[in-house]
Structure 1
């Protein structure tokens, strides 16, 4: 049996192009893209997923793997996967931003923990919201929805199709949505803390001899924890709504920015 170079190229394309796209997704995707997950584990998962996705690709592009066109296509697939994983990472950032905002209002801005996913230090309340977001993401099978959308992307967004400006515009819109959603969820706790600080300001004016700093910090902490408890009480329903909105953005990204 004689195997031609064109057949080898086609077989290589069945695995290589999906591998590049899936590798990009796993670099930024929540949980898998965390900095604590070794790179070898991510690449191994990408290889397994590429082998599973390869039979779904009916007509891979016939491109010389040693040509400049193959390099450009590989970079395009990697970039597409990076932005796709970044969409779900923004979804996680919504809840981290909520925790950081509440933490600043509580006076816990100096209580920080290392965030291995982003390589920065975040407020401890933000880390608490991130843990809750991760557990809810797994409980709602968000990881399965993300993998299903990634597999579906090879049908909706073929390998040979280029990048669109509509998808980039949608990513910018999702970043705006991230700050708006985080502020909308955190505004009850922010309002409660602003009222508390204003009350201490009036107390300081009414009784200047009162040591407002010694009294204010523990009271602010207690009221902040109470506001945090109220914020967590309805986090399940809020989380599900935000998750559905993130999946809507991901589908719009796959269709070229059309929501």
Structure 2
């Protein structure tokens, strides 16, 4: 192999590793936050690529030398990173779904705020839960596990994968589990407020002269915040279980892709 061919092979390998990491960082929580500048995200992907490059190069992967096949491999590597980032992003989707249910029950539906993490409109309680969960993940160095899980992807999904994930039913089950976990996460506050609505309805039917609707909305907001405050001691354990579930989904993705 000539010096030019060796240089071309090394640059091609570096770009392939970079594209997978860039695809993941575009969607994954913490890394894809709106407050993180694009150059910082690109620099993070490039820095991890430099660290990981000797390990991948030691496996001597096969890289096409022609332009069109190489472009196809770059596209596939980008899609691999995006799929992995999407699986990791489901954790944020669960928190947003739970916040949407809580906002609906507390009367905050019309007051959706701009999410400072992703820069899109999101429920107020979902926004609060996302920020709190992000701080917990960073405080416990859980983002290191995200990087380690991404590194592990090369053991299951090599460069230039020859197939797509074998089990397409996995994605349908994943969406169903996201909805189920959102409901479970919101149920303490949502259920308590629903029971209070039933009690108010019975009270209104019993005493029609009582103008309960003039005070029920601020009372529901205060009651919702009280339940939220009481549930905060259990929030850390919920985030840990949610993170472990997310990592198990990622492992299922790797195993299905390998098949």
TM-score by length of 2: 0.91
Q: How far off its partner does 1:50 sit?
A: 1.0
- State the partner residue of 2:193: 193
- State the partner residue of 1:134: 134
**Structure 1 stretches of 5 or more lacking a match?**
none
Q: How far off its partner does 1:4 sit?
A: 4.1
Q: How far off its partner does 1:202 sit?
A: 1.5
1:42 and 2:38 correspond: no
1:123 and 2:123 correspond: yes
Report the 3-state secondary structure (helix = DSSP H, G, I; strand = E; otherwise coil) of the residue aligned with 2:166.
Answer: helix
Report the 3-state secondary structure (helix = DSSP H, G, I; strand = E; otherwise coil) of the residue aligned with 2:96.
Answer: helix
8 A contact 1:111–1:123 mirrored in 2: yes
Task: Give the whole-Å Cα distance in 2 for the aligned partners of 1:54 and 1:258.
Answer: 22
- State the partner residue of 1:166: 166
Q: Go from structure 1 to structure 2 and tell me whether the alpha carbon gap of 1:144 and 1:127 turns closer, same or farther (over 3 Å shift).
A: same
- State the partner residue of 2:67: 67
Task: Give the whole-Å Cα distance in 2 for the aligned partners of 1:44 and 1:199.
Answer: 56
Q: How far off its partner does 1:118 sit?
A: 4.4
- State the partner residue of 1:183: 183
Aligned-residue RMSD, C-alpha: 2.1
Task: Give the whole-Å Cα distance in 2 for the aligned partners of 1:137 and 1:253.
Answer: 22
Q: How far off its partner does 1:99 sit?
A: 1.8
Q: How far off its partner does 1:174 sit?
A: 2.2
TM-score by length of 1: 0.91
- State the partner residue of 1:230: 230
Deviations 1:17-54, CA, capped at 9 Å, x for gaps = 10010110111111111233222211111111111111
